[in-house]
Amino acid sequence: MNARFGLKQSTIDKINGVFSAHPRIERVIIYGSRAKGNYRNSSDIDITIEGEAITLSELLKVETELDDLLLPYTLDLSLLHLIDDQDLLNHIRRVGSVFYERQAISADSGDNLTGNS
């Protein structure tokens, strides 16, 4: 398979479609074997979600929506701001790769959102 993280682009698009439906999700980091490149076809997908306003109940909703995709993978989800295992945080910083990032929405008028010209 010649796709990112050993996943078909259609699979990545389906997963990212769930993330994009949740405005509080700012960024999603993939880590573990899929980020390192030493995955197997049966490897799970380890991802952590960034977004300070995300609650555990919203995480459960995201998890349900991902499960409803009926993908042939196990997805291991976490909220980055709730991880307190320093070794895991170091691993995510070391090998993690951006899987999804919310894009800033620009106004049709071309105005700069920061107020700078």
Give the start-to-end residue ranges of the domains of the chain. 26-101
CATH number of 26-101: 3.30.460.10
**Helix axes 9-20 and 56-67, enclosed angle (nearest 10):** 150
**Under 8 Å between Cβ of 42 and 6:** no
Nearest to 58 by CA among 79, 89, 82: 79
**Model pLDDT for residues 40-75, shown as the tens digit of each residue:** 988 999 999 999 789 889 999 999 999 999 999 999
**Model pLDDT for residues 66-104, shown as the tens digit of each residue:** 999 999 999 999 999 999 999 999 999 999 999 999 987
